[in-house]
Amino acid sequence: MTTTPLLEIRNATRRFGGLLAVDDFSGVVQRGERVGLIGPNGAGKTTLFNLITCFTPLSSGSVRFDDSDISSLKSFEVARLGMARTFQNLRVMPNLSVFDNVSIGALGAFGHSPVAALLHRRGYAEDISRRTWEVLERAGLQDVAGELAANLSYGKRKYLEIARALALSPRLLILDEPAAGLNDTETAQLGQFVRQLSDEGLSLLLVEHDMNFVMNLCERVMVMASGRKIADGTPQEISRDPIVLEAYLGSDIENEGEAA
């Protein structure tokens, strides 16, 4: 029996004026899989994530999630279907408490646009509160639930972003540079946390410049350069692929984490 991939990107293309930021990119994430997306700065990784999550419209191509075409949906509709993401530049709301930041994610799970969800908030209060506490505990943030997000350390804010995404009860979690700005200990802890989520059945797609993090965590790695997919394979295959090494010329792939 064959099962369809959880996520399938078909010939995704995005132009910004004359620039082809994403150029005919195809790839899949299978159910339960941990997939890394790597590539030099400006390769088009974040743009591809924006296309997948419908934050940016495709110029051409399509994206399928759980065997339906989601290409023309709005980002909150995609989230409701079970695809949650974090952002390269943290987007936590600094003047809201940690609890409220996560509960906004939980509101999205109730099938409304963020505005409608806020308006109907009272009706779901109990479910939202329960889900929010579950996720806060999961992410080790229960003790700082009442703090303003602005007062958290950078490392904790990164967990807060992930917690807000998890509040949606996603099936696919998309992380854009989760380890950026973290020290080695924090990065190792984050790796363990993400792997536990995966062990519980969550599928993962992540962009990361820290090669150790990607190679230890991911079962498969896609490599992007100048908008195109140039390689797709196991970490072992990728790390000795001459095309990949060439794309990283001048920035030793082994040390890309420190360089970024």
Ligand X SMILES: Nc1ncnc2c1ncn2[C@@H]1O[C@H](COP(=O)(O)OP(=O)(O)OP(=O)(O)O)[C@@H](O)[C@H]1O
Contact footprint for ligand X (CB under 6 A)? 16, 19, 21, 39, 41-47, 88
Q: Which stretch binds Mg ion (CB under 5 A): 39-47, 51-59, 215-223, 232-240?
A: 39-47
Comparison of 34 and 45: residue with beta carbon closer to Mg ion: 45
- Taking the least distance from each CB to Mg ion, the nearer of 172 and 180 is 180
Q: Are 257 and 217 in contact (CB under 8 A)?
A: no
Q: In the window 138-177, what residues touch Mg ion (CB under 5 A)?
A: none
Residue 207: CB minimum distance to Mg ion, A: 6
The partner in contact with residue 163, picked from ligand X, Mg ion, none with C-beta cut-offs of 5 to 8 angstroms by kind, is none
DSSP lists the bridge partners of residue 56 as: none
154's contact among ligand X, Mg ion, none, with CB below 5 to 8 A by partner kind, is none
Q: Is 53 in the site for Mg ion (CB under 5 A)?
A: no
Q: Verify binding: residue 71, Mg ion, rule CB under 5 A.
A: no
Q: Find the shortest distance in angstroms from Cβ 209 to Mg ion.
A: 9
Residue 142 or 226: which CB sits closer to Mg ion? 226
Is residue 56 involved in binding Mg ion (CB under 5 A)? no
Q: Kindly report the CA angle at 199 between 195 and 203, in degrees rounded to 5?
A: 80
Instruction: Find the part of the chain contacting Mg ion (CB under 5 A) among 46-54, 75-83, 109-117, 211-219.
Output: 46-54
Rounded Cα distance between 176 and 44, Å, is 12
Q: CB–CB of 218/34 below 8 Å? A: yes
Contact flag: residue 187 with Mg ion (CB under 5 A): no
Question: CB neighbours of 172 closer than 8 A, spacing ≥ 6?
Answer: 6, 7, 29, 65, 82, 83, 84, 202, 203, 204, 205
Q: Which does 41 bind (CB under 5 to 8 A by kind): ligand X, Mg ion, none?
A: ligand X
| Minimum separation from the CB atom of position 234 to ligand X (A) | 22
Between 50 and 103, CB nearer to ligand X: 50
Per-residue x/- mask for Mg ion, residues 87 to 106, rule CB under 5 A?
A: -x------------------
Could you tell me which residues come within 8 angstroms of residue 185 by beta carbon, excluding any fewer than 6 positions away?
A: none
What is the total count of residues that contact Mg ion (CB under 5 A)? 3
Residue 28: CB atoms within 10 Å: 17
Out of 46, 71, 86, 198, the residue judged to bind Mg ion by CB under 5 A:
46
Q: Where do contacts with Mg ion occur on this chain (CB under 5 A)?
A: 45-46, 88
